[in-house]
Structure 1
Amino acid sequence: MAYTIRSFNSITGQISVEFDGGQVYELEVPIQNGAYYNGQTLIDYINSYDPLAYNGRVIALAANPSGGDSIASLVDPLPAVLVYQTQFSSNNFLDKFTADEQVAVLSATLVNIPLKLFYDKMLAADYVDIEDLNTIGGLAALVAASLLTEARKIEILTPVLIS
């Protein structure tokens, strides 16, 4: 059977093979002893491929074969992956504080230079990461200055569930 290899994807290990008649099929190139089939072994592998069998399967699937429900009932899907946000814009990070907390912190920055430095760095940052040690330390300083409770610090440092 005549064919032409049209492409090879080294990431997936697939070749696109065009057989007589113009039909192109994606074939997974087998790996043996850490190397792809090549030479005569690859030629024999490609020649063993039966496009008609593939076409027969396509036709059979189009006829909506029965039994799919019983196979589907065996599926145990992977659990959903929960994604949490830990990085916030400065504005969104400030939204984690109540209005009273924001006023108290801003007022404290007028007399407490270390708090002012923390506050200014937070405002200038591209983002605030609640897992960053500087953020955690800054919030600990707010607790030490009695501007936040430990419980509020923990609440502010809690990641936001995205999905």
Structure 2
Amino acid sequence: MSATVPTLLFVLHLVGAILWVGGMAFAILVLRPALAVLAPPQRLALHAEVFRRFFLIVWHAMPIVVASGWALLFGWYGGFRDAGVHVHVMNLTGMIMAGVFLAIWFGPYARFRAAMGRGEAEAATAAANRVRLLITANLVLGLVTSIVAGFGRWGL
């Protein structure tokens, strides 16, 4: 593999991770607290638009992060045997993060969309809160993954 290919894969991996983890950080640390100034119906409408746009980004970023990570793992490191512990941890936490996102999409986010479609504000609010909790868990995983990546790449 020429040096250009792993560099491109690494850049794709990094940009995808920045969009995914950064989007979660913005949503939890900035957007969520700022929503308090809106009335509940406005809050739900904004959630609907934010979720729709952000999850579209994640549906693109997540497969890019996974595919580029595996391409680097098998094309650059030669597989798990020759990869450092940090790569193993990144793979594990990345797969858990992907699973959590899928759980959000097919679970509380699907319930949120359905409740919004039926005009059931209470059910939509409960589902949005569940989405928030799972995004918070995924944010923690994403930050741990980023920290492990940084220390694994550059050492202590």
Give the TM-score band, short-chain normalised: under 0.3
Q: Which has the higher strand share?
A: 1
Q: Which has the higher helix share?
A: 2
What TM-score, normalized by structure 2, do the two folds share?
Answer: 0.28
Highest CA radius of gyration, 1 or 2? 1
